A and B are shown apart, each in its own frame.
Chain A
Amino acid sequence: MVTLNSFVVLGAVIFCIGLFGALSRRNAVGILMSIEIMLNAVNITLVAFASALVHDAKLGGRLTGQVFAIFIITVAAAEAAVALAMIIAIYRRRNTIDVGEIHLMRW
């Protein structure tokens, strides 16, 4: 039997895997891929709650979670485009995308 808990735990596990990647990677494209994994985990959680609460009359039976997932997908696509353009611009100027070596603003 698959309940809401199964999907929320799945989302949490995938989110933490993505967070580990975002924290431990040095390649900027690798960090971006980990962030995409985290956004997908959040989407899974939101859609799971939408399906679980759609039969709840108190909340009007609306699919608000799915609408939020659509907005997250929109913003994630925009973020991916801008971030990859930034990575390519940094690579042209400094010839590396290792985030350990991009430390112009480090104190």
Chain B
Amino acid sequence: MLDLPTVAFYIIAILLVGTALAVVLSRNIVHAALFLAVFFGAAAGVYVLLNAEFIAIVQVLIYAGAVTILVLFAIMLTQNAMSRNANPFAGQWWLAAIICAALAIGIIYAVGSSKMALLSANASANMTTAGAAGGSIVRLGQLLYSPFDYSYVLPFEIASIVLLVAIVGAIVIGRED
């Protein structure tokens, strides 16, 4: 059962977990930021596998483009970034590791024993090939904008206000006195 979506999924999954670990464990903060860019690109690959083309493009534009540049600028402006140990660990990192491992085990156990596991086994056995190609953007747009049908048009408008407030807030907070 080694079809193309399965192989692609495992390659992307290994890439995602590896780059996430590299971001978290890297001593040099610039390296961490560059691994973060690879992580965002690989996440876009997951969205393509899930027939969510629009989310994949937005991921590349906003995360891999804008957020990575923003993080790199913040590193450049805040410290002598090229120093060796710019990204130290807190003293109790082992406690954080224990908590996170316990949380991961709990979530994976819950996923394995839930009713949704049955759903994935029966209804949509192979979800990467189940969706109709090309149709999801139209349905997504109707669900976001449509003023007549059931849609999320009011939260969408509020999101624009959130972005405006964030722009103004970033300028006000980051301004030189």
A interface residue numbers (CB < 8 A to B): 1-10, 12-21, 23-27, 29-30, 32-34, 36-37, 40, 43-44, 47-48, 50-52, 54-56, 60, 62-64, 66-67, 69-71, 73-82, 84-89, 91-92, 97-98, 100
* B108 contacts partner chain A, Cβ-Cβ < 8 Å: yes
Q: Which one, B58, B59, B78, B103, contacts A88 given CB within 8 A?
A: B78
CB-based contact A73/B130 at 8 Å: no
B152 contact set on A, CB distance < 8 A: 67, 71
CB-based contact A12/B108 at 8 Å: yes
Q: Which one, B32, B101, B126, contacts A3 given CB within 8 A?
A: B126
Given A18-B24, A27-B87, A33-B71, is A12 in contact with B127 using a C-beta cutoff of 8 Å? no
CB-based contact B59/A73 at 8 Å: yes
Q: Which one, B5, B39, B62, B124, contacts A77 given CB within 8 A?
A: B62
Given A16-B104, A30-B32, is A2 in contact with B9 using a C-beta cutoff of 8 Å? yes
Q: Which of B52-66 contact A (CB under 8 A)?
A: 52, 54-55, 58-59, 62-63, 66
Main SS at interface, chain B:
helix
A4 contact set on B, CB distance < 8 A: 116-117, 119-120, 124, 127
Q: Which one, A3, A20, A23, A54, contacts B121 given CB within 8 A?
A: A3
CB-based contact A27/B86 at 8 Å: yes
Q: Which one, A17, A63, A70, contacts B139 given CB within 8 A?
A: A63
B interface residue numbers (CB < 8 A to A): 1, 3, 5-6, 9, 13, 16-17, 20-21, 23-24, 29, 32-33, 36, 39-40, 43, 46-47, 49-52, 54-55, 58-59, 62-63, 66-67, 70-71, 73-75, 77-79, 86-90, 92-93, 96-97, 99-101, 103-104, 107-108, 111-112, 116-117, 119-121, 123-128, 130-131, 136, 139-140, 143-144, 150, 152, 155, 159, 162-163, 165-167, 169-171, 173-174, 176
B139 contact set on A, CB distance < 8 A: 62-63
Measured CA separation A88–B78 after assembly (Å): 6
Given A29-B71, A52-B120, A77-B62, is A10 in contact with B13 using a C-beta cutoff of 8 Å? yes
Measured CA separation A21–B25 after assembly (Å): 8
CB-based contact A14/B20 at 8 Å: yes
CB-based contact A3/B120 at 8 Å: yes
